[in-house]
Structure formats: C-alpha cells, structure tokens
Amino acid sequence: MKKTILTLIVFSVFLWQSQAVLAKDETHFFNPIENFNRDPNYVPGQYDKQDTNMAESAYYLKQSEYVDKSKGSDHLVVLGGGDITFSSTKNESAEVLGYFREYYGYVDVANDMPKAMFLVINVNSLDTSVPGRNNRILDLFFRSFEPELGKIVVEFKTIEVSGKTLSELSDGQEHTVDVRGNVFLNGQRKEVKASVTIKRQQGAWHAYTAKPITLFLSDFNYEKEVYALMKSCNHKSISDKVDVMINVYLK
C-alpha cells in the first residue's frame, strides 16, 4: 500500500513538472541552441529592409476607404497626437516596447452613443527606437513589404455602453465601455475583447484601453517568423504573448 501511495506521489510530481514545462513552452518561443551565437561580445549589425512602397500604398488605400466612411455628423474621427503601443518580452525577462506611429480610424455614433470603432494601422510605421531592430521585425517577422501584410485592421463592432450619452458628459467625465470585435493580421482573424475608457476633453474625446489587449503570436500563425527573427537578432527566446494599448483622440 505504501509503495502504491509513493508511486502515485512520484507520478503526480512528474505530471506537475511536465505541465509546468509545457506551460513555459506555450508562453515563449525558444531559439534552438544551434542558431544561437554564444560569443558574449556578438552584436547583430544593421539590417536593410526590403522596399515597402506597394505595402504603403495598400495602407493608404484602406485609409482612404475609412476617410470616405467617416464623413458626416454621425462619426467621430481619430486625430493625431495619440499612440498605439505594444510590449513583448525577449530572453524571458527583457521588455521590448514598440509604437505604431501612423494609423487612422473612426467611431460610428448612433443615438448619441458610440456603436462601433474601426482602425487601420500602418505596419511600416513601427518604431522600437532601434532602426536595425525595426527593420528586422518588419522584414523577417511582419514581412511588411508584401502589400496584403502592410496593415493591421481592428474592428470593434460591438460597444456595450450605458449611462449618460456623449453630449451629456461634461469636460473631464468619462465612460468605460466593453468592446468586442476582430483583429486582422497576417491573413488571420482573431476575436478580441477590451475595456475602453472614453473621456470628454476640451471639446474632443480621449479613448484609451483601460488595460492591455493581450494577443498571442501563435494565434496569427507567426511561429516560423519568430524563429527567423530570433536567429537574426541572436535572442534566446521571444514571448508568445504581446500586450497592446490603444490611446487615441477623436473629434
């Protein structure tokens, strides 16, 4: 009996350890040892990305479509001055923060309430503050030179809001609303949910995510690209999870 109990305990510990390893593998991509440069002084050099003119044109075509749709008093248009940021983790502990500097969008308004929000993001406006890293991410990971991959589209088609209408909010007052919709990236569609705060601010509106929108690279079929990026950047690992924050102004 004691032997049976001991066997069960050992098996349980083994199972727990196996699940822990599996969970770790699910949250990080690890660079195969044969691809990693062990020289402690090795630093990846500069990197030239491919021509992105066609991809830029595809982004501006989508932007033009949104401009046409956002005309009229029943829309709020996204202005400049905000930012769309993401954070990821490399080498299991080092945070990488990035920005998409160019985007356009609008909010549908009905009965003085926000009903839907649409954003198109120019992938080639990526900025991580390191030019060589920007180029590697764009070329090896996003493959942003391909026209159909040069943009990210976000469609929040459901906004659940209650309380005061937009015109009833005084300056400084805010609504926090739950939104649901889809992110279109790398030819994939992923449903997302988010909490967004909408604040009246000097005749305009400030909309920002109350907490990060968590996306997973594996949901967008980026496994192959992650390994190519790790090899080029000489990273030991890259997190599967990416946290995205949206911070925009509308009028």
Digits of tens for pLDDT over the chain (251 positions)? Answer: 544 444 444 334 433 433 333 343 458 999 999 888 888 888 898 999 899 999 999 999 999 999 999 988 899 999 988 999 999 999 999 999 999 999 999 999 999 999 999 999 999 999 999 999 999 999 999 999 999 999 999 999 999 887 788 888 889 888 889 999 999 999 999 999 999 999 998 889 999 998 999 999 999 999 999 999 999 999 999 999 999 999 999 99
Annotate 110-119 with b (16+ C-beta within 10 A) or e (fewer). eeebbebbbb
pTM above 0.75, yes or no: yes
Residue with tokens 């491919």: 50
Structure tokens at 146: 């391909």
Backbone torsions φ then ψ of 22, nearest 5 degrees: -60, -40
* pLDDT attached to residue 1: 54
Q: Under a CB-based contact definition with an 8 Å cutoff, are residues 208 and 245 in contact? A: yes
DSSP, res 222:
-
Q: Under a CB-based contact definition with an 8 Å cutoff, are residues 250 and 101 in contact? A: no
Structure tokens at 217: 């690279």
**Spatial separation of the C-alpha atoms in residues 219 and 241, rounded to whole Å:** 10
How far is CA 172 from each of CA 5, 125, 202, 205, 229, rounded to the nearest angstrom?
63, 31, 8, 10, 44
* pLDDT attached to residue 73: 82
- Distance, C-alpha 209 to centroid of its chain: 12
Q: Under a CB-based contact definition with an 8 Å cutoff, are residues 200 and 171 in contact? A: yes
Q: Under a CB-based contact definition with an 8 Å cutoff, are residues 47 and 203 in contact? A: no
* pLDDT attached to residue 212: 95
Contacts of 127 (CB under 8 A, 6+ apart): 98, 99, 100, 101, 134
**Would you tell me which CATH number, out of the four given (2.60.120.10, 1.10.1060.10, 1.10.10.2840, 2.40.128.110), belongs to the domain 32-250?**
2.40.128.110
* pLDDT attached to residue 227: 96
With CA atoms as reference, report the closest residue to 217 among 243, 236, 193, 196: 243
How far is CA 166 from each of CA 109, 151, 206, rounded to the nearest angstrom?
9, 30, 12
* pLDDT attached to residue 42: 87
Helix (DSSP H) and strand (DSSP E) numbers for the chain: 4, 13
**Spatial separation of the C-alpha atoms in residues 244 and 210, rounded to whole Å:** 11
User: What sign does the CA torsion over 69, 175, 160, 214 have?
Assistant: positive
